[in-house]
Structure formats: structure tokens, C-alpha cells
Amino acid sequence: MERWIHGDLVAFEKLYRKYEKLVFKNAYLITGSKDDAEDIVQDVFLAVWRYRQTFDPIKSKFTTWLQRITINECTRKRKQATDFTLIDEIDFPETTSRQPEEILVTKSEYEALLKTLSEMGEKHRTAVVLRYLSDLSYAEIAEVLNVPIGTVKSRLNHALACLKERLAFEWEAKPEKEGEHGL
């Protein structure tokens, strides 16, 4: 970190390689566009380089600071966009501590989840992405979004109720196939 803060390009490249997939995943899930997510990755890391001396490891973790920049860029990009639809099929690397065997979600359930997520408002979608797909704590999400922890909890409660309602309806409408498991 010290080397990056002092302008070392090799250290910056290591940071880029370590976090580019995380930034892309979150940008894609928030904006719903692969092209926008790719643009956002570039914009985020330009900001990471340009504003490196404003990062204070005493005040926050690097990932929290990076997520804040990512959310800002997504918000800026979303203001330019007119439609939100998750249409690209992208495999994201597992970033949580859960093992693959603990995540028993079929492709159709995953697609239903993405569709439902895409129909949510940006504030709720962002909270879900940061909490459940990036494993941030409530406090970290509050810091990233610059809102009180209570607001984070409220947004997550609302989003989860929405997901539960919409996904239950989605799965009730489909006959369960042998070997498929619900969430």
C-alpha cells in the first residue's frame, strides 16, 4: 500500500489485478451492463491512481474505499443510462467464504435472482450486492454508501422481502424438476 500511495506503478498494477474482478462484478450487478461495468472498472482504477494520496488506512480498509469509488462511478453511469436489464451471462468468481457445495442454486434460480435484482431500485440492489455478493458488514456498507447503519438494515430488509416475495412467486409458477432445490 505504501508503495502505491507513493506512486509505484508496479504496486498499483498488483492492486488492479487483485481487485479488478471485484469491481467488475459489483459494477455489472449494479448497472446491469457488461459494457458499462468494463468502463467503470477503468474509471475506478483511474480514480484509485489519481486519488491514492487521499486514502487513509487508519480511517478505512482499502476495499471499503474502493467500493465507495465503485458505487460513485456506478451512480454516475446509471444517471446516463435509460434502461436496466441483466442480459449478459457472466460467471463471477466466488468472493465469499462459502464453499461451492453450500451454494445449491440451479441456473434457472440464478437467472430468476438476477432478473429480480435487476427490477429493484438502485439503492436496494446496491445494498444486496455489497452485503450478500461482496460480503461486506453493515458498518462497511454504511461507510461505502455514506448512510447510517439503520438505513443499510432498512434497505436490506426491504430488498430481502422483495426478493422473497418475487422469487417465491417465480418458483411457485415453475414445476420443480427432479434434483432442483429452491433457495
Higher pLDDT, 178 or 172: 172
What confidence score (pLDDT) does residue 100 get?
Answer: 44
Q: Could you report the per-residue pLDDT of 62-87, keeping only the tens digit for each?
A: 999 999 999 999 888 876 654 444 44
Assess contact for 37 and 31: CB atoms under 8 A: yes
Q: Is the pLDDT of residue 124 over 80?
A: yes
- What's the whole-number mean pLDDT along residues 152-170? 85
| CA–CA separation, 33 and 30 (whole Å) | 8
Which of 49-53, 62-66, 147-151, 159-163 comes out lowest in average pLDDT? Answer: 159-163
- What's the whole-number mean pLDDT along residues 37-52? 95
- What's the whole-number mean pLDDT along residues 177-181? 46
Determine if residue 7 is left, alpha or beta; phi over 0 gives left, psi from -120 to 50 gives alpha, anything else beta. Answer: left
Q: Is the pLDDT of residue 117 over 90?
A: no
CATH 1.10.10.10 fits 2-173, yes or no: yes
Binned at pLDDT 50, 70 and 90, residue 178 comes out as very low
| CA–CA separation, 5 and 166 (whole Å) | 45
- pTM of the full predicted structure? 0.66
**For the chain, what are the domain ranges?**
2-173
| CA–CA separation, 19 and 40 (whole Å) | 13
